[in-house]
Structure 1
Amino acid sequence: MRITADTTACISAGMCTLTAPGVFDQEDDDGLVAVLRPEPPEELREAAAAAVRLCPSGALGIR
């Protein structure tokens, strides 16, 4: 699993950070998504996948 993020599509809603804080964060200056662990360990994969599904702008993806 590899997490991707399109910061041009991100609307800074923060659902990713709330759903999978070990995988995602938000930039301090603009609130855009920051992927902390693009290849999350097994124990974080379910939360990461949920965050991708919940992203209101569709900025996140899984490969």
Structure 2
Amino acid sequence: MGGVPMRHHTSSKVGRRRSHLALKKKNVMVCAECKAPILPHRYCSNCGYYGKKKVTEVKAKTKKNVKK
């Protein structure tokens, strides 16, 4: 036999518990160099800058094999 709840949970009790399960909105910023949307405290994957400093070298994007 499977487990069963010891006590009945009212809908208000369940609702109060579930009130914190909502998805939070992401805080999206704009890159200072290329104006691409980025998350805060992360370097831009588009241009490689973190604020005003060049952090990494970004490789040029290549086209993958296209089905003909």
More strand by share: 1
- TM-score, structure 2 as length reference: 0.17
More helix by share: 1
- TM-score, structure 1 as length reference: 0.18
